[in-house]
């Protein structure tokens, strides 16, 4: 199993819980929550999140409960078009390259991407 397949397997188990938590947060606040990166840089191995206390400006602290203690990728959640949806972005360092995947959870399926090395800025 490749690194990205391992991450996808973890994500498949985590995504239903994240979605339920997002819907609960939306029910209480009228918006989905945003989450900054779980790790300050893309992990090259199984690493504990080191950035969970970071909170977006103007938002109540909210993190995904049930995250694994050690993760092979970092995770971020961005919201768009309140209340249309949210996008989960994953990044991992694989053989010295940062790989990224995005999963749209809303009305913009075209924002979902497969694992790829993003172009340099």
| 38: in domain | yes
How far apart are alpha carbons 24 and 112 in whole angstroms? 23
pTM of the predicted protein model: 0.90
State the average pLDDT over residues 63-90: 88
Q: How many domains does the chain divide into? A: 1
| Exposed / middle / buried, residue 106 (Cβ in 10 Å: 0-12, 13-18, 19+) | middle
Q: What is the mean pLDDT of the chain?
A: 90
| 121: in domain | no
User: What pLDDT, in 10s, does the model give residues 84-120?
Assistant: 899 999 999 999 999 999 999 988 888 899 999 988 7
| 15: in domain | yes
How far apart are alpha carbons 29 and 31 in whole angstroms? 5
Range of the domain at 69: 3-116
Flag whether pLDDT at 63 surpasses 70.
no
């Amino acid at each position: 199993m490749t690194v990205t397949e391992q991450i996808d397997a973890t994500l498949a188990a985590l995504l239903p819980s994240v979605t339920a938590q997002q819907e609960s947060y939306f029910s209480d606040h009228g918006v989905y929550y945003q989450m900054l990166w779980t790790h300050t840089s893309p992990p090259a191995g199984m690493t504990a999140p080191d950035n969970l206390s970071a909170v977006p400006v103007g938002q109540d602290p909210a993190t995904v409960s049930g995250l694994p203690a050690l993760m092979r990728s970092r995770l971020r959640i961005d919201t768009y078009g309140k209340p249309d949806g949210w996008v989960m972005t994953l990044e991992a360092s694989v053989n010295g390259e940062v790989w990224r995947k995005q999963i749209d959870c809303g009305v913009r399926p075209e924002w979902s991407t497969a694992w790829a090395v993003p172009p340099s800025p």
